[in-house]
Amino acid sequence: MANDKLKLEDLLESASALSEDTELIKNIAIIGAGVMGQGIGQTIAAAGMEVTIIEKDSPRLQKAQSGLNASMNREIKRWAMTNSEKKAILSRIKWEFSLEAAKDCELIIEAVEEDFELKKSIFVTVDKLAKKEGIFVSNTSTLSLTKLAESTSRPDKVIGMHFLHPVPKIPLVELVKSLHTSNETVDAVKKFASKIGKTPVEVYEYPGFVTTRAIVPLLNEAMYILLEGVATAKDIDTAMKLGYNFQSGPLEMADMMGLDEVLAWMETLWKTLGEPRYRPCPVIRKLVRERKLGKKTGEGFYKYDENGRIIY
């Protein structure tokens, strides 16, 4: 009986410690209210946590609020979400346009476009504002986490969380460790990832990590097949969906990701690794020049209606 009582006390103490660890991250800020920032914010709020989304000015913030509202309304139309769930999610999201709003947060997630100097400038600024124990997260998919970490006074507390689009639906997140990331940071962010319903996969810093490095050659090759007139966009995607059990074809996938983002990934991998499979197809360059960026602008490889459905 005494041994049983001792075991029970040990279990209770262990559970209590785990609970305290998980609760270390209570205040979360997201810098960047684009498609990814909105998706990350929605995911965190849907898990019952409060989150602040920060943009650089009021017009961009209002655009982001409208975008998130429209996205959730589409989910409601598809019976994938209820009005009550939407209301609960939005009630947990606070919108700001000053980095000062992140100063008391334990976790600060940067989700701006794939531009190293922009990300670095954000980290440098927030490093001066945030409390010492605050963890910095970058959503980069191709850039050097080590270099970003070295721009701060807390390189051990910098880590990558590479979410995939659409964030609320994809159950995966890549946890990217730089040369300086501490085990304590990895453990805290791993627990946070699980708490918001994501399966964390640990990867070491390398251009493209796992998912981006593997998917970019597929997207690029599909674009070259289109350029060479081998098949139409619809037939290329149908072949890949039915032939390899993909939920979306590569060209539809690129449209969902945002063609400007995909082009940025290609250019970074091409510049960093120098391998021909990453050299951007002229088709994507042309579409980006014309501001046909995919689903978010209503046209890319396909045209989309107001509900985000492909118009054939």
The full set of domain ranges for the chain reads 18-204, 211-311
For residue 158, pLDDT over 60 is answered with: yes
Look up the pTM and report it: 0.83
Mean per-residue pLDDT, 191-206: 95
Instruction: Convert the pLDDT of each residue in 283-299 to its tens digit.
Output: 999 999 999 999 999 99
For residue 165, what pLDDT is reported? 86
Of 20 and 171, the structure prediction assigns the larger pLDDT to: 171
Confidence of residue 306 (pLDDT cuts 50, 70, 90): confident
Instruction: Convert the pLDDT of each residue in 37-50 to its tens digit.
Output: 999 999 999 999 99
Is residue 293 within 8 A of residue 260, CB to CB? The reply is: yes
Q: Which CATH class is domain 18-204?
A: alpha beta
- Cα separation, 93 vs 29, in Å, equals 10
**Phi-psi sector, 79: left (phi>0), alpha (psi -120 to 50), beta:** left
Is residue 27 within 8 A of residue 102, CB to CB? The reply is: no
CATH H-level, domain 211-311: superfamily:
N-(1-d-carboxylethyl)-l-norvaline Dehydrogenase; domain 2 (1.10.1040.10)
For residue 310, pLDDT over 90 is answered with: yes
